[in-house]
A and B are shown apart, each in its own frame.
Chain A
Amino acid sequence: GAGVSQSPSNKVTEKGKDVELRCDPISGHTALYWYRQSLGQGLEFLIYFQGNSAPDKSGLPSDRFSAERTGGSVSTLTIQRTQQEDSAVYLCASSLIRWDQGTEAFFGQGTRLTVV
């Protein structure tokens, strides 16, 4: 089966525009994560979805960032009024992880966002 798929692979946008990044997790994976990775930096946690529970949005850097997960599958990360500091690779991961036990989280190839 297919792995985690993200689209687009690359996105160049003008400052002030809104962007939507898409993540298709592995079928059946209940947990879905969004991370941001700036050049040469670590994996900054953004948001976490687990089944039908309310998402953990504690990592979203500002109210310009939002995410949703429809039907427990596909997720969309939206950045409104993009700024140059939003330029980064946005990585999505999915897993069968539950809060009380861990299993491998698989990453997508990422979306490279460049704000000009």
Chain B
Amino acid sequence: GENVEQHPSTLSVQEGDSAVIKCTYSDSASNYFPWYKQELGKRPQLIIDIRSNVGEKKDQRIAVTLNKTAKHFSLHITETQPEDSAVYFCAALQRGKLQFGAGTQVVVTP
């Protein structure tokens, strides 16, 4: 199969708390895992990505972890701010095809 499963579908956090979004993939040949943020009415934009030869990557308040054995990867946002409110999509590159998860609506409340 070529599915990318993403959980949760919605996530509400208090400003300053952390948010975690988890994804699993089915194709063990997948080797590239980007995360996109889509604000209301706008196009998806890359926020961070990780390749299969790396277990963790961090960029300021966001980090991504990858467990190739379990075929899952996660996005971590620390010290959340209202501007982090958006829909987040994980994706996996599966034999050339970029397959997306269903998205997580993150709402950061002040």
Contacts and interface: CB of A to CB of B under 8 A. Distances in A.
A-B interaction:
yes
Contacts of A42: 89, 100-103
Contacts of B99: 45
Contacts of B34: 102, 104-105
Interface string B84-102: 0000010001011111111
A109 B52 CA distance: 29
A104 B46 contact: yes
Interface residues of A, number: 27
A43 B31 contact: no
Nearest to B105: A40
A67 interface: no
Contacts of A108: 43
Contacts of A64: none
Contacts of B98: 33, 45, 48, 93, 95, 97, 102, 105
Interface of A: 31, 33, 35, 41-43, 45, 48, 50, 56, 58, 91, 93, 95, 97-102, 104-110
